[in-house]
């Protein structure tokens, strides 16, 4: 086995192992008021702006437990959910049954090699997760190449990235004290080498983090036309707990605030404070 192939195998095992122990948490994440609810609301609002007509085919690769697939299928899209993790696919199966939503396909698939799908076969593609699990640049390039290959011309890809500029902010966040003087080397590796790993198993699988300015060139190299780069937390990443309380206490005002957060999410001065970045690109 070549070194690249063995690295790829390791990466697959790492991802599967991580989601084996955190599958249920991954399903709950996008509803959790301080972990993913804001990201889910902002991503859905931006994805919606570029969705094709109802009935079109959408691939959700790295779709995990299926939150986005279920949301899309419920609107009448023909959704294929692909993921590396058998444990997350099992949850997706259970949740689609529970919610009486039908997916076109639910398959084990690796974003690096989508050869099970033909060229130009999807009207839109979501890839919300695989990029930051890949530590090798050649693998990330392979994903961008596969996304554009399976998309029809004029179709959009929605791709998530983790923001490298979060490292120092997270390091001093005393609400989640992962980082102490004893784990200073980890912060430095995150900050300087763009690799985020953790001293304790189960927090997150080792991840690649990227400076926002480097996202469009990565995708454009494979032929995408950049349409938008969005902060999935808009400018409110650090105040999500307050935002959740505000939503409970002032639901009418919250609706207005959320609409404004959505509209501000692609402001170039705000993208740097994103936790997650949502790239939107078109296949010419």
Q: Which residues bind ligand SAM (CB under 6 A)?
A: 15, 19, 26, 30, 61-64, 67-68, 83-85, 88, 110-112, 128-130, 133
Quick one: 95 or 189, whose CB is closer to ligand SAM?
95
Helices 240-249 and 251-264 sit at what angle, rounded to 10 degrees? 140
Closest to ligand SAM by CB, 127 vs 227, is: 127
- Give the residue with the Cβ less far from ligand SAM, 25 or 225: 25
Are the CB atoms for 66 and 87 separated by under 8 Å? no
Q: How far, in Å, CA of 207 to CA of 186, rounded?
A: 12
Question: What's the CA gap between 149 and 223, in Å, rounded?
Answer: 10
Q: How far is the CB of 67 from ligand SAM (least distance, A)?
A: 5
Nearer to ligand SAM, 134 or 271 (CB): 134
Which residue is closest to ligand SAM by CB? 129
CB closer to ligand SAM out of 17 and 189: 17
User: Can you read off the two tokens belonging to residue 101?
Assistant: 């939503």
To ligand SAM, the closest distance from the beta carbon of 190 in angstroms equals: 17
Q: Is the CB of 41 or the CB of 246 nearer to ligand SAM? A: 41
d(CA 35, CA 104): 29
Ramachandran angles phi, psi of 107, nearest 5°: -135, 150
Q: How far is the CB of 21 from ligand SAM (least distance, A)?
A: 12
Nearest to 95 by CA among 71, 62, 130: 71
Closest CA to 109 of 121, 122, 136, 127: 127
Decide if 7 contacts 69 (C-beta within 8 A). Answer: no
- By the 10 Å C-beta count (0-12 exposed, 13-18 middle, 19+ buried), 215 is classed as buried
Min separation Cβ 28 and ligand SAM, Å: 10
E strands, the chain, where? 57-61, 78-83, 105-108, 122-127, 151-162, 195-196, 207-208, 225-231, 276-282
In angstroms, give the least distance from the CB of 40 to ligand SAM.
8
How many Cβ atoms are within 10 Å of 125's Cβ, its own excluded?
28
The distance of closest approach from Cβ of residue 108 to ligand SAM in the complex, given in angstroms and rounded to an integer, is: 9
Rounded to whole angstroms, the Cα distance separating 215 from 232 reads: 14
Output the smallest distance, CB 194 to ligand SAM, in A. 17
Residue (64 or 212) nearer to ligand SAM, CB: 64
Q: Of 14 and 152, which has the nearer Cβ to ligand SAM?
A: 14
Least spacing, CB of residue 256 vs ligand SAM, in Å: 26
């Amino acid at each position: 086995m070549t070194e690249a192939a063995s690295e790829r195998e390791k990466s697959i095992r790492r991802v599967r192992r991580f989601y084996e122990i955190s599958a249920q948490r991954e399903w709950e994440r996008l509803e959790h008021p301080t972990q993913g609810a804001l990201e889910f609301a902002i991503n859905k609002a931006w994805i919606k702006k570029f969705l094709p007509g109802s009935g079109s085919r959408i691939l959700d690769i790295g779709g995990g437990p299926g939150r986005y697939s279920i949301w899309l299928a419920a609107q009448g899209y023909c959704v294929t959910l692909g993921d590396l993790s058998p444990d997350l696919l099992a949850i997706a199966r259970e949740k689609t049954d529970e919610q009486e939503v039908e997916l076109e396909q639910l398959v084990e698939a690796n974003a690096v090699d989508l050869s099970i799908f033909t060229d130009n076969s999807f009207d839109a593609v979501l890839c919300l997760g695989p990029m930051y699990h890949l530590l090798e640049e050649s693998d990330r390039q392979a994903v961008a190449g596969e996304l554009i290959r399976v998309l029809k011309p004029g179709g959009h890809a929605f791709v998530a990235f983790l923001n490298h500029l979060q490292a120092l902010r997270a390091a001093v966040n005393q609400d989640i004290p992962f980082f102490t003087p004893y784990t200073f080397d980890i912060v430095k590796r995150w900050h300087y080498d763009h690799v985020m790993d953790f001293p304790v198993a189960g927090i997150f699988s080792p991840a690649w983090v990227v400076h926002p300015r480097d996202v469009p060139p990565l995708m454009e190299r494979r032929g995408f036309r950049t349409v938008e780069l969005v902060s999935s937390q808009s400018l409110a990443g650090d105040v999500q707990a307050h935002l959740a309380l505000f939503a409970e206490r002032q639901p009418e005002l919250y609706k207005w605030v959320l609409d404004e957060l959505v509209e501000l999410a692609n402001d170039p001065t705000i993208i740097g404070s994103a936790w997650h970045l949502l790239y939107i690109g078109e296949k010419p």
